[in-house]
Chain A
Amino acid sequence: MQFQDAVKKSIEMFLDGKMPEKTAALAESGQLMFTHEYFDLLEEEVLGEPVEKEEEVEDAS
Chain B
Amino acid sequence: MRPDTPIPGANLLADTRHYAWHRPPDIADYDQAVDFMIKKIDDPYETQMVMAMLQIDAQISTIVSTLLLQSVSVGKFGIDLALLTAGPLARYIEIMAKNANTPYEMGIRDKDEIVITPTLLKQALGIVDPDDEPEMPEEETPALEQPTGGLMTMPDEAVAPQDEQMAMLGGVEEEEELEPEDELS
Contact = CB atoms under 8 A, between A and B. Distances in A.
Say what secondary structure dominates the interface of chain B. helix
Contacts, number: 100
Interface of A: 1, 3-4, 6-16, 18-21, 23-24, 26, 32-34, 39, 42-43, 46-47
Contact of A12 (B30, B62, B68, B108): B108
B83 A7 contact: yes
A12 B64 CA distance: 13
B61 A39 contact: no
Interface of B: 30-31, 34-35, 60-62, 64-65, 68-69, 79, 83-84, 86-88, 90-92, 95, 98-99, 106-109, 111, 159, 165-172
A39 B90 CA distance: 11
Given A23-B84, A39-B88, A46-B99, A34 B170 contact: no
